[in-house]
């Protein structure tokens, strides 16, 4: 019952992370989504990932567009500033925010309608620019908030609740992200917390454009037979290619694993992505191979999940732009204003 206030007192036994915070410190207000909505599981995974990484909640900026999915930032990290912007345009707002202060963590949450329909352009361009962010699409194949119309990720041939068949080609945002230059691309399922939490952690530590496509069933409008985004369908067609373990620089890396089955990817910030292969022939270091693999499995009806591609030496937008390391929003008159002497010279050059 969504109207009941959450109990305020924390249970004293709740486990604490490196910052001494409990999971509760990463929560938000109570969700107003439908009971059973996949999006709520993703919020829970975000909370878990941030807690495990011991992220400082107020150093996260969470941004979204419009839709049920885009509402979710209210439901986690209530110590963070949030921005529920306009439909399909979160990427530009996030990009701008990121430009203003490169020190925060940027978490963009969006829906498939928000990112693949109206927002496809902004989605694509934010990937090409290498904005340092974690961009999560909560992908249910429909517009939840406007009551169940197909979105642009709906698979061709899939059926709506009312029986209509989708005739447009569905967009695979993960493949698109790879093609457009995202340097960390994953896919997961809201029903698979074990897979999802480390993927989010990996994305948060990744120093570039990290994208996660999370299949997230809409129980109100897209969980029926004929849908390719129902819990049942996804459970039966999910093909995980690897499993991930994220080790931050704080932790010492000790254990040794037999080579081959395990791959370690070291990122800029010192964090290590430890990947255990589940599909022998999968190589997450090749963009082209990854795309081929994902697309040919899709042609067979399989949804490939896991860390699809990672480029550990990603260069982000600030590096491209050569921005100062100080957050731009901290610069004051002194750094910014050339002053009257410079102006006099400028005048002189114009006579």
Ligand X SMILES: Cc1ncc(C[n+]2csc(CCOP(=O)(O)OP(=O)(O)O)c2C)c(N)n1
Does residue 157 belong to the site contacting a second copy (CB under 8 A)?
Answer: no
Secondary structure of residue 93 in the 3-state scheme:
helix
* Number of residue whose CB is nearest Mg ion: 111
Closest approach of ligand SF4 to the CB of residue 218, in Å: 3
**Could you tell me which residues are beta bridge partners of residue 215?**
139, 189
Q: Alpha-carbon dihedral of residues 212, 104, 247, 137, nearest 10 degrees? A: -10
Of 30-38, 51-59, 176-184, 226-234, which segment contacts a second copy by CB under 8 A?
176-184
What is the sign, positive or negative, of the torsion defined by CA atoms of 265, 192, 137, 50?
Answer: negative
Does residue 79 belong to the site contacting another protein (CB under 8 A)?
Answer: yes
Closest approach of ligand SF4 to the CB of residue 116, in Å: 15
Q: How far apart are CA 315 and CA 270, in angstroms?
A: 15
**Residue 99, contacted partner among a second copy, another protein, ligand X, none, CB below 5-8 A by kind:** another protein
Token pair in block for residue 129 = 């620019």
Answer for which of 151, 205, 263, 284 binds ligand X (CB under 6 A) is 151
Q: How far apart are CA 160 and CA 120, in angstroms?
A: 22
Q: Which is nearer to ligand X, 31 or 69 (CB)?
A: 69
What is the sign, positive or negative, of the torsion defined by CA atoms of 135, 136, 142, 143?
Answer: negative
Q: Which is nearer to a second copy, 33 or 317 (CB)?
A: 317
Element (H, E) at 307: strand 303-310
b/e map 264-284, b = 16+ CB within 10 Å: ebebbeebbbbbebeeeebbb
**Residue 3, contacted partner among a second copy, another protein, Mg ion, none, CB below 5-8 A by kind:** another protein
Does residue 167 belong to the site contacting another protein (CB under 8 A)?
Answer: no
Enumerate residues 186-225 that contact another protein by CB under 8 A: 220
| Those residues with Cβ within 8 angstroms of residue 309's Cβ, 6 or more apart along the chain or in another chain | 178, 182, 183, 184, 185, 284, 285, 286, 287, 290
Answer for which of 49, 61, 104, 142 binds ligand X (CB under 6 A) is 142
Q: How far apart are CA 314 and CA 328, in angstroms?
A: 22
Answer for which of 51, 76, 135, 221 binds ligand SF4 (CB under 6 A) is 221
What is the CB-side half-sphere exposure of residue 17 using CA atoms within 13 A? Answer: 20
Enumerate residues 80-119 that contact a second copy by CB under 8 A: 117-119
Does residue 218 belong to the site contacting ligand SF4 (CB under 6 A)?
Answer: yes
Answer for which of 114, 172, 239, 311 binds a second copy (CB under 8 A) is 172
50, 96 contact by CB (below 8 A): no
Q: Which residues bind to ligand SF4, rule: CB under 6 A?
A: 33-34, 37, 39, 68, 140, 144-145, 218-221
Q: Which residues bind to a second copy, rule: CB under 8 A?
A: 117-121, 124-125, 127-130, 152, 156, 167-172, 175-176, 179-181, 287-289, 291-292, 295-296, 299, 320-321
């Amino acid at each position: 019952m969504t109207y009941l206030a959450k109990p305020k007192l924390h249970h004293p036994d709740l486990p604490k992370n490196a910052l001494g915070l409990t999971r509760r410190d990463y929560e938000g207000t109570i969700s107003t989504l439908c009971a059973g909505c996949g999006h709520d599981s993703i919020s829970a995974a975000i909370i878990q990932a941030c807690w495990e990484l011991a992220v400082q909640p107020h150093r996260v900026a969470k941004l979204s567009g419009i839709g049920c999915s885009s509402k979710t930032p209210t439901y986690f990290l209530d110590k963070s500033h949030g921005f529920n912007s306009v439909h399909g345009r979160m990427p530009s707002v996030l990009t701008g925010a990121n430009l203003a202060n490169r020190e925060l963590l940027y978490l963009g949450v969006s829906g498939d309608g928000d990112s693949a329909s109206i927002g496809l352009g902004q989605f694509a361009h934010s990937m090409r620019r290498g904005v340092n962010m974690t961009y999560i699409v909560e992908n249910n194949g429909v517009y939840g908030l406007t009551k169940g119309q197909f979105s642009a990720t709906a698979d061709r041939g899939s059926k709506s609740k009312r029986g209509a068949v989708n005739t447009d080609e569905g967009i695979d945002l993960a493949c698109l992200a790879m093609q457009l230059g995202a340097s960390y691309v994953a896919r997961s399922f809201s029903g698979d917390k074990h897979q999802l939490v480390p993927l989010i952690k990996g994305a948060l530590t990744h120093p570039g454009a990290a994208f996660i496509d999370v299949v997230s069933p809409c129980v109100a409008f897209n969980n029926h037979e004929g849908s390719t985004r129902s819990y049942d369908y996804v459970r039966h067609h999910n093909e995980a290619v690897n499993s991930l373990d994220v080790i931050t620089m704080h932790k010492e890396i000790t254990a040794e694993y037999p080579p081959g089955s395990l791959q370690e990817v070291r990122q800029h910030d010192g964090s290590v992505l430890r990947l255990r292969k589940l599909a022998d022939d999968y190589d997450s270091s090749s963009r082209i191979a990854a795309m081929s693999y994902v697309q040919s499995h899709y042609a067979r009806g399989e949804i490939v999940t896991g860390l699809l591609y990672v480029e550990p030496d990603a260069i982000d937008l600030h590096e491209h732009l050569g921005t100062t390391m100080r957050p731009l929003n901290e610069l004051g008159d002194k750094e910014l204003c050339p002053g009257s002497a410079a102006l006099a010279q400028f005048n002189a050059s114009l006579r």
